[in-house]
Amino acid sequence: MRCAVSFFLAAMFFFFPAALQTAQSPAASDTETVRALEAAMMNAAAEKGAAGYMSFYADDAVELPNGAPAIRGKDDISRTMQFLNDKNNRLTWTPVAVNVSQSGDLAYTYGLFLFRSIGKDGQPVVEHGKYTTIWKKQKDGQWKVILDMGNSSPTPKGRALG
């Protein structure tokens, strides 16, 4: 009997913390939610331009543009996103990773982007780059972008991004 009690206590010591940690870890559904939001944001940008894209941003978001000062606040960021209203401009991206904090209230994504436009000479222009987006779960339970940044990369060799 004493051996069974010792085994039970030992099992609880090893397995209970793992069960407790699993219960406290963010649900896989949060990871999938953020991944789905990335796709929805891209579709909203394609369909509704800057307004669609910006609908995923928190009011106090920060944008860290390539080679320029930080832009604070959704309204100011929105003014720089008006290029998305031109149907000749198409911004697409693919997340490489989506990670949610153990607390379940912050997440980050990073990946590759592709921006297609028409140059002043009328010729197609393609810009490649990488990005990082930080998402925060709001008081109402919705995930919103609180920080976004991207920067240009050389044209990838042997790798196409859609």
The CATH number of residue 135's host domain is: 3.10.450.50
- Residue 17, pLDDT > 50, answer no
Work out how many domains the chain is built from and give that number.
1
Q: Assign 82 to helix, strand or coil.
A: helix
Query: Which pair of tokens denotes residue 126?
Result: 């393609």
pTM above 0.85, yes or no: no
* 20 in a structural domain: no
* 70 in any annotated domain: yes
11 occurs within a structural domain: no
- In a domain, residue 148? The reply is yes
Task: Give me the long-range contacts of 18-25 (CB less than 8 A, separation at least 24).
Answer: 24/102, 25/102
Distance CA 148, CA 36 (A): 17
Q: Domain for residue 94, yes or no?
A: yes
- Mean pLDDT over residues 126-132, rounded? 95
Residues of the domain holding 36: 28-153
Whether 101 has a pLDDT exceeding 50, the answer reads yes
Residue 134 CB neighbour total at 10 angstroms: 16
Whether the CB-CB separation of 145 and 134 falls below 8 Å is answered with yes
Higher pLDDT, 62 or 17: 62
The average pLDDT across 20-45 equals: 80
